[in-house]
Amino acid sequence: LEQGGAALVEWPERAEAALPDGTVWIELVHQGDGGLAKLSGQGAAIDRAARSLAMRDFLATAGWGEAARRFFVGDASARSYEIVSLPGQAPRVLMNSPRLVLGPPVRDGKPYAAIAHTAQSVAAFVAIDKALLA
């Protein structure tokens, strides 16, 4: 299975040794009158799926659970953006900004993020938001 590919495996427990590390498992189970998809796995792909589901929960809590979500091209950072929209509401930008992983040292024992003074969390964005609202 090539990187970025997908496979439908009828009995995955029989193929586990043949599947690559970082495989995302989607188990479809019956529940009541419907079904449920259970995601599991390890690595970057399952982390992205968990982050996307957390963003969905965030939108639902904010009253935007039914919003349409559309990927929006951002910058070269680890952040990603979506345009979320509801009928009758102005569209909003949802920023996905996981805490920055500093990476290896590149100069004077410091990682690039420390040298460039990049935002390592959303604290700076929240501070700017509060300043603009004041």
User: What burial class does residue 52 get, using C-beta atoms within 10 Å of its C-beta: 0-12 exposed, 13-18 middle, 19+ buried?
Assistant: middle
- The pLDDT of residue 118 is above 70: yes
pLDDT single digits (tens) 49-103: 899 999 999 999 999 999 999 998 877 777 889 999 999 999 999 988 888 788 8
pLDDT of residue 114: 86
Residue 49 three-state SS = helix
**DSSP, res 55:** H
Strand partners, 85: 68
Q: Tell me the C-alpha to C-alpha distance, in Å, between residue 3 and each of 17, 19, 39.
A: 16, 11, 19
Mean predicted confidence (pLDDT) in 35-51 = 87
Q: If you average pLDDT over every residue of the chain, what do you get?
A: 87
Is the pTM higher than 0.75? no
